[in-house]
Amino acid sequence: MTTTVTSHRTRPPAQPDSLRAKRLPWYAAPAIAVAALALSAVVVYGTGIGGPVLVVVLGAILYLVGLFAAANVVEGRRSARNRTWSALIHSTFVLAVLPLVSVVWTLVSKGADRLDVNFFQTSMNNIGARDANGGAYHAIVGTLEQVGIATLITVPLGVLCAIYIVEYGRGKFAFTIRFFVDVMTGIPSIVSGLFVLAFWVLIVSPWFNDGRPSFSGFAAALALSVLMLPTIVRSTEEMLRLVPAPLREGAYALGVPKWKTILRVVLPTALPGIVTGVMLAIARAAGETAPVLLVAGGGAAINTNPFENSQSSLSLFVYQQAGDASKYAPARAWTAALTLVALVLILTIAAKLLARRNRLSR
């Protein structure tokens, strides 16, 4: 005798409406934001206490208050706090990005006026106040030479100093080096320029210039080296410390000397991070003005020899043109600033790509 058993799938019981969490509709947050901005504009412009920036800031505050009140009524206090903090994080990000967008827009809009071939192929030599021509070729050459020489000086010195601190340094001497490197990180750029002016320009350069002090691009490179060195030392030190100890121990177990282990194992492993720190230091040095003004002089003519006569840079060119009385000077200053920012941006992007490569390799 066979018995047929029929199985039926049972559906889970539907939850009653009282157990479902209530949520704000999708259009609630945008509506509250629009209302907050409108109310902020009425208050700010009605009382005459500020402009668009204050409208955005006050609107963000009103938006957070309104969002918390609406979510507290509909979703409950816990969900309201969660929504408010999430909105606060996003609002802070927007407020942080707005100045950057404003700077980029200002540079592009005002710097595009002189973004031509003449600007990149001529200098300011023999350019009068009524002359619309003149460019920053001499400043671009000066920036590349000064930063290049500073890089050649600081990279070996900084990497070797970091290797000593991590691999060999023990006791008070290593602590003293690390302490002074940290102190140098906060030194203003004008101090490094004064140091090179007092030492190199006034004392050393007369030996090579018939007893007369002389400005030069090399002096500016020395001042930039003082600024670049702590960044390179600290970044290299951190990258060397991230190298796993078993790599060193495995090389020592095979009888490899310590110096060869550092050269063949430690440095190649930490190389992407080291390059990232070097490029960040280069990006900072390219935008310095005070050291170049003090020790390089800022000449208007093209000077490809960094060891003789005055030499300019892009940052110094911007400073000089911004203070010039000519009606054509502001356009040159904005275009030079755009060129400098583009150069720093390229270096920063390259550093980020190298940092990504370093992260993937680990």
253-301 per-position pLDDT tens digit: 888 898 899 988 898 888 888 888 888 898 889 888 889 999 998 888 8
Say if 163 falls within a structural domain.
yes
Residue 191: pLDDT over 70: yes
**Residues 136, 82: one domain?**
no
Q: How many domains does the chain have?
A: 2
19-64 per-position pLDDT tens digit: 456 788 888 888 999 999 999 999 999 888 888 888 888 888 999 8
Q: Of 92, 111, 130, which residue sits at a domain end?
A: 111
**Residues 274, 299: one domain?**
yes
What distance in Å separates the CA atoms of residue 268 and residue 355, rounded to the nearest whole number?
14
155-183 per-position pLDDT tens digit: 999 999 999 999 888 888 888 888 888 88
CATH number, domain containing residue 263: 1.10.3720.10
**Residues 186, 261: one domain?**
yes
Residue span of the structural domain in which 45 resides = 23-111
Under 8 Å between Cβ of 321 and 160: no
pLDDT of residue 228: 93
Say if 10 falls within a structural domain.
no
Say if 4 falls within a structural domain.
no
Residue by residue, DSSP assigns 291-309 as HHHHHTB--SS----TTSS
The crossing angle, in degrees rounded to 10, of helices 329-361 and 267-286 is 170
Residue 5: pLDDT over 70: no
- Is residue 344 packed enough to be buried (19+ CB in 10 Å), middle (13-18) or exposed (0-12)? middle
Under 8 Å between Cβ of 355 and 270: no
Of the two residues 91 and 105, the one the predictor is more confident about is 105
Residue 99: pLDDT over 90: no
pLDDT of residue 1: 45
Q: How many C-beta atoms surround the C-beta of residue 100 within 10 A? A: 9
Residue 86: pLDDT over 60: yes
Residues with Cβ within 8 Å of residue 166, at least 6 apart in sequence? 237, 240, 241
Percent of the chain with pLDDT over 90: 29
Say if 297 falls within a structural domain.
yes
**Residues 56, 174: one domain?**
no
**Residues 106, 154: one domain?**
no
What distance in Å separates the CA atoms of residue 115 and residue 105, rounded to the nearest whole number?
15
pLDDT of residue 12: 55
